[in-house]
Amino acid sequence: MNRDREENPVRALIVDRSAPGGLRLAGTTDPVPAAHQALVRVRAVSLNPAEFRYVLPQAPDGAVIGWDAAGVVERAAADGSGPAAGTPVITLGLSGAWAELQAVDTALIGTVPDGADPAVMSTLPVAAGTALRGLRRLGPVLGRRVMITGATGAVGRFAIQLAVRAGAHVTAVSRDTSRTEELLALGAHEVVAGPAAVTAPVHGVLDTVGGSVLPAAYQALGEGGVLVLAGAASGQDTVFGPGTLLADPARHHRAVHTFFLMAEGGIDQDLTWLAAETAAGRLRPHIARRGDWAATDTVDTIAAVAGSRLPGKAVLTLS
């Protein structure tokens, strides 16, 4: 590390279990990119409840975690893959996003239109990526009924918009009835408080809630219907009652599919498309809370995300 780096180390939100929320803003070492990785100067990050539920508890003190980031390529990949230096990008990874510099596989980098707000772009990788890829697993939805659970969450809001654009009749499920008008404005055809309120069978379900919602949503599936389990925001165990998964004489071949966002290639293309659609105003993220990562209320933001209490994304910009 050169003298400038010694005097101005890369800052990151590092894991520190003695700090409020388990994170502390501190200096850390520069990431060393592999040949297939670009070095990205991060401008904004968005936070996901699953990072606090599954990643933070397992990470050692001093680690840098985080999945979503937006910034600018500082150094292109040595193998020639990916965007050139100076390109605005969004990134998806299993760790390392909550830092000023991030080494990212070029296969997990999407390019961003010039002038786009990094804070807005940072909301896309996990939430919009999950919505896009989860809906694809339902198969063609043109003219079909689709149910989106957890509709006021970040994934749910993106999923409503994308499913409507794909030609689906969308039923949004949300216990928060005060958000009904917001969900209808996103394109949902109807909003219900729970899957049991749906009277007509649906072709597909994108479930981000789990718990008791999952078996209820499964029961709403029609013949050949598919439920994609893309999240477990409830944090509750799921219990299928006796006979729930047995064949129904009126509705054969229903299925539950598990989901992993990075199970297939083409993520760079998906991220680039999502960024272009958002920059053009055809896809609308919802930022529920936005602040500077060094602000005193960052601890409150982290707590709100960890508790799944925000109707949308929380974004931290890097000062």
pLDDT in tens, 193-233: 999 999 899 999 999 999 999 999 999 999 999 999 999 98
Give the confidence band of 54 by pLDDT, cuts at 50, 70, 90.
Answer: very high
Give the confidence band of 168 by pLDDT, cuts at 50, 70, 90.
Answer: very high
Give the confidence band of 3 by pLDDT, cuts at 50, 70, 90.
Answer: very low
The position carrying tokens 């999923």 is 159
pLDDT of 244: 80
- Taking the model in full, what pTM does it have? 0.94
Domain ranges for the chain, please list them.
3-126+263-317, 138-257
Which CATH number, 3.30.70.20, 3.40.50.720, 3.50.50.60, 3.40.50.2300, labels domain 138-257?
A: 3.40.50.720
pLDDT of 7: 60
pLDDT(138) > 90: yes
pLDDT of 308: 86
pLDDT(99) > 80: yes
pLDDT of 5: 45
pLDDT of 4: 41
DSSP E strand stretches across 149-297: 169-173, 190-192, 202-207, 221-229, 255-257, 287-292
Q: CATH 3.40.50.1110: does it fit domain 3-126+263-317?
A: no
Helices 267-279, 129-136: inter-axial angle, 10-degree rounding? 120
Question: Residue 213 corresponds to which tokens in the numbers above?
Answer: 């919602």
